[in-house]
């Protein structure tokens, strides 16, 4: 991984303004900003003042609360939706506040006494309303070009002697006649004074308040570990993310191998502050107990967490997701942080504006019991207030096939809190989702399976799911067909794992090898050596072609007959997928090969999900026609249709499918 650098540009990366740094350096905070909008602030000063407010808002995280009051003759809340209260520092609230601040105008004169009184009364109200809860750091930020006096009487009435509310003052403008009053207000209330002359000074001066708010943690030597919400790694964010033209707009674990990008992708960070622990201090040096040296942390890739989800245990239409303690999504099947822009023979992914603040209720859509929608999500508070638990069946709206088809499904939710940080939720559908396929005996070895033989050349793939935690490697391993074949033939697959969790997975996969060995004959109407009298015409043509190729010496002729007869009837691919992640396929042309590359996850693939849904709805076959999105791109090319038939859909374990060119 290489750090992004542009020889013609300045590297503006500053770790101190990253969310993981600010969250670790300070405890949660309640911030009230007083913005002077009097006539003396007109012009460049007010522009710098607006930039200062914006930079302060950018230092807030999901743990914080805030509000902004503009004041001239009378103080007034900038956002009329939040009067006399503090609002959560969510991405939506901050963005809305920034838009409103950009529309403010300066006029009249400043009444500091009314503004300060209103600010302190708001904190009194919050203290009374939440007296049993810790309100953490409380601060008033005053942004002005000067004050006529220090308003000692106001501070004496509301904030002294405890000085529970810190006051930070930002003096705006190059030529200010006197800074004594604003400096005194900050120093007398355990805050910090800063003079901002130009826009270039804004970032550095705003950053100073972070160090002041870190002092309580430094004095207590608190072990303050924090986890950030999901975000795009800085290196990835500044690189081109390229995916194949027909691939989904995703960097999920199922698709990231086909993507090209720098960095770590989507991550979450764990960080903690580093304080000065010196004992020998010089006469002019800062006291160590108040000195924040910095923040240390590490990133955790979201895809590494997703790899640990036991996909084969959850089954078809089962899934897992994780949410923060504030209800924001870390990962979810419907979490779509990117959109695609087509560029020649590839796509480039761009992040959505709210990609790192997708709420739980936006992806789990409840079905209301009565008319209309519930105002409050029935599961949200349940998941956020408890550390673990299970929830009875609940109806939600789901979709498949790229949101082209919707379905109401009853799901069961079970969850547990992980490291006091986020909730991991497992979801399985009602009825068939509560069943599990077990294989206890009669499991053949791979060598025995391969010795059984077959008439045509069949490709075999295994989904790359994590199946084992290595005894010696101490890492999680993903399975593939080469590794599976090697481990089974050598008898080392069981020995290399540190637990027995993979036994059932291996046994089921081996059994699926045996069960699916003869699927070509089943496709051709031969079951237990008997012919199906009602076989389709392409089967009859196939048998006529190889009727004289009975001996093993003529197996090549039989294979060529198979290919020619099926292709003449428009059949492009025949395949079978199982719940253990096994895919057996015969590619009859190159057109459908690329499609198969993106559908090797069996129970996570659209075709498999639709087959199960179709069985529940009483259908034996599921048809998918070509989707024409661009005349210039699709009308000149043969677009395959898909016909899906469920062979043993009761347990959703094994299904036989064909991919066939149809005329509509």
Give the CA radius of gyration of the chain: 32
Q: In the chain, what is the greatest distance between 2 CA atoms, to the nearest angstrom?
A: 108
- The Cα–Cα gap between 537 and 569 comes to 9
Task: Please say whether the dihedral angle defined by the alpha carbons of residues 37, 43, 45 and 46, taken in this order, is positive or negative.
Answer: positive
Is the pLDDT score of 613 beyond 60? yes
Range from 349-353, 439-443, 642-646 that averages highest in pLDDT: 349-353
Is the pLDDT score of 497 beyond 70? no
Q: What are phi and psi of 18, to 5 degrees?
A: -75, 145
pLDDT for the residue numbered 475:
65
Is the pLDDT score of 3 beyond 80? no
- The Cα–Cα gap between 185 and 351 comes to 43
Between 113-117, 352-356, 487-491, the lowest mean confidence (pLDDT) is in 487-491
Question: How, if at all, do strands 29-36 and 641-648 pair?
Answer: unpaired
List the helix and strand counts (H, then E) for the chain: 22, 30
- The Cα–Cα gap between 15 and 203 comes to 12
- The Cα–Cα gap between 265 and 60 comes to 23
Looking at per-residue pLDDT, the higher value among 440 and 393 belongs to 393
Is the pLDDT score of 295 beyond 70? yes
The mean per-residue pLDDT over the stretch 19-23 comes to 91
Between 145-159, 160-174, 283-297, 457-471, the lowest mean confidence (pLDDT) is in 457-471
Give per-residue pLDDT as tens, 274-294. 988 887 777 777 777 677 889
pLDDT for the residue numbered 104:
93
Is the pLDDT score of 607 beyond 90? no
Is the pLDDT score of 552 beyond 60? no
Looking at per-residue pLDDT, the higher value among 580 and 147 belongs to 147
pLDDT for the residue numbered 462:
83
Show the beta-strand stretches assigned E in 82-144: 87-88, 137-144
Query: What confidence category does residue 498 fall into, taking pLDDT thresholds of 50, 70 and 90?
Result: low
Looking at per-residue pLDDT, the higher value among 549 and 255 belongs to 255
- The Cα–Cα gap between 69 and 74 comes to 10
Query: What confidence category does residue 529 fall into, taking pLDDT thresholds of 50, 70 and 90?
Result: low
- In the chain, what percentage of residues exceed pLDDT 90? 35
Is the pLDDT score of 427 beyond 70? yes
pLDDT for the residue numbered 455:
54
Residue 129 Cα distances to 63, 132, 151, 637, angstroms: 18, 9, 27, 66
Give Cβ neighbours of residue 178 (< 8 Å, ≥ 6 apart): 146
Between 129-143, 603-617, 642-656, the lowest mean confidence (pLDDT) is in 642-656
Question: Beta-carbon neighbour count of residue 157 at 10 Å?
Answer: 12
pLDDT for the residue numbered 348:
93
pLDDT for the residue numbered 330:
93
Give per-residue pLDDT as tens, 464-483. 777 666 555 556 666 667 76
What's the whole-model pTM score? 0.82
Give per-residue pLDDT as tens, 557-582. 777 777 777 777 777 788 888 888 88
pLDDT for the residue numbered 618:
81
pLDDT for the residue numbered 538:
66
pLDDT for the residue numbered 30:
94
Looking at per-residue pLDDT, the higher value among 282 and 411 belongs to 411
Looking at per-residue pLDDT, the higher value among 542 and 599 belongs to 599
SS (H, E, C) 563-585: HHHHHHCCEEEEEEEECCCEEEE
Give per-residue pLDDT as tens, 359-399. 888 899 888 655 444 457 778 778 888 888 776 778 888 88
Is the pLDDT score of 156 beyond 50? yes
Query: What confidence category does residue 146 fall into, taking pLDDT thresholds of 50, 70 and 90?
Result: very high
pLDDT for the residue numbered 487:
66
- In the chain, what percentage of residues exceed pLDDT 70? 75
Closest CA to 91 of 425, 318, 324: 324
Is the pLDDT score of 637 beyond 50? no
Give per-residue pLDDT as tens, 22-76. 999 988 999 999 999 999 999 999 999 999 999 999 999 888 999 999 999 999 9
Looking at per-residue pLDDT, the higher value among 478 and 314 belongs to 314
State the average pLDDT for the chain: 80
pLDDT for the residue numbered 503:
67
Closest CA to 145 of 70, 39, 32: 39
Give per-residue pLDDT as tens, 204-222. 999 999 989 988 888 887 7
The mean per-residue pLDDT over the stretch 606-612 comes to 85
Residue 485 host element (H or E):
helix 481-490
Residue for token pair 């069943």: 435
Is the pLDDT score of 421 beyond 60? yes
Task: Please say whether the dihedral angle defined by the alpha carbons of residues 611, 616, 617 and 618, taken in this order, is positive or negative.
Answer: positive
Residue for token pair 């509301």: 158
- Angle 364-478-613 (CA atoms, 0-180°, nearest 5)? 40
Determine if residue 629 is left, alpha or beta; phi over 0 gives left, psi from -120 to 50 gives alpha, anything else beta: alpha
């Amino acid at each position: 991984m290489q750090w992004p650098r542009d020889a013609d540009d300045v590297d503006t990366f500053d770790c101190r303004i990253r969310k993981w740094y600010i969250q670790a350096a300070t405890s949660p905070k309640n911030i009230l900003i007083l913005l002077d909008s009097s006539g003396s602030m007109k012009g460049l000063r007010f522009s710098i003042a607006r930039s200062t407010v914006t930079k302060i808002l950018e230092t807030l995280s999901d743990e914080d609360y805030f509000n902004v009051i503009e004041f001239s003759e009378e103080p007034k809340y900038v956002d009329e939706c939040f009067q006399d209260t503090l609002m959560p520092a969510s991405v939506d609230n901050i963005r809305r506040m920034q838009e409103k601040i950009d529309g403010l105008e300066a006029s009249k004169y400043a009444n500091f006494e009314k503004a300060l009184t209103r600010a302190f009364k708001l904190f009194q109200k919050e203290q009374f309303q939440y007296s049993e809860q810790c309100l953490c750091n409380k601060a008033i930020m005053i942004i002005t070009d000067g004050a006529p006096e220090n308003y000692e009487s106001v501070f004496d009435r509301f904030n002294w002697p405890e000085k529970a509310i810190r006051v930070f003052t930002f003096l705006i403008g190059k030529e200010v006649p006197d800074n004594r009053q604003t400096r005194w207000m900050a120093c007398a209330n355990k805050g910090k004074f800063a003079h901002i002359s130009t826009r270039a000074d804004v970032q550095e001066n705003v950053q100073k308040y972070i160090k002041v708010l870190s002092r309580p943690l430094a004095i207590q030597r608190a072990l303050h570990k924090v986890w950030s919400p999901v975000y795009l790694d800085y290196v990835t964010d500044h690189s081109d993310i390229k995916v194949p033209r027909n691939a989904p707009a995703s960097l999920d674990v199922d698709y990231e191998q086909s993507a090209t990008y720098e960095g770590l992708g989507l991550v979450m960070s764990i960080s903690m502050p580093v304080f000065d622990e010196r004992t020998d201090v010089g006469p002019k040096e800062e006291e160590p107990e108040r000195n924040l040296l910095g923040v240390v942390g590490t990133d955790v890739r979201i895809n590494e967490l997703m790899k640990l989800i036991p996909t084969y245990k959850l089954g078809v239409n089962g899934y897992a997701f994780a949410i923060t303690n504030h209800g924001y999504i870390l990962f979810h099947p419907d979490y779509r942080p990117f959109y695609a822009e087509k560029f020649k023979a590839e796509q480039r992914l761009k992040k959505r504006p709210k990609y790192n603040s997708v709420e739980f209720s936006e992806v789990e859509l409840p079905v209301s019991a009565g008319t209309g929608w519930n105002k409050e999500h029935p599961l949200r508070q349940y998941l956020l207030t408890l550390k673990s638990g299970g929830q009875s069946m609940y109806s939600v709206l789901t979709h498949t096939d790229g949101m082209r088809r919707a379905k109401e499904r009853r799901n069961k939710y079970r969850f547990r809190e992980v490291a006091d940080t986020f909730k991991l939720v497992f979801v399985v559908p009602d009825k068939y989702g509560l069943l599990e396929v077990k294989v206890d005996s009669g499991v053949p070895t791979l060598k025995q399976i391969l010795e059984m033989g077959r008439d045509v050349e069949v490709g075999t793939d295994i989904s790359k799911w994590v199946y084992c935690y290595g005894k010696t490697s101490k890492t999680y391993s993903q399975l593939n067909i080469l590794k599976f074949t090697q481990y089974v033939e050598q008898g080392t697959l069981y020995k290399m794992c540190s637990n027995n969790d993979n036994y059932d997975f291996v046994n089921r996969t081996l059994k699926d090898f045996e069960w699916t060995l003869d699927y070509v004959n089943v496709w051709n109407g031969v079951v237990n050596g008997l012919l199906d009298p009602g076989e389709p015409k392409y089967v009859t043509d196939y048998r006529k072609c190889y009727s004289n190729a009975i001996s093993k010496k003529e197996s090549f002729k039989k294979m060529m007959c198979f290919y020619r007869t099926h292709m003449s009837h428009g059949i492009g691919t025949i395949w079978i997928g199982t719940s253990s992640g096994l895919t057996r396929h015969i590619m009859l042309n190159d057109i459908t090969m690329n499609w198969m590359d993106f559908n090797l996850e069996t129970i996570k693939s659209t075709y498999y999900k639709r087959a199960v849904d179709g069985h529940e709805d009483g259908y034996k076959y599921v048809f998918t026609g070509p989707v024409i999105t661009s005349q210039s791109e699709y009308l000149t090319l043969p677009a395959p249709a898909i016909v899906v038939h469920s062979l043993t859909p009761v347990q959703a374990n094994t299904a036989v499918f064909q991919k066939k060119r149809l005329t509509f």
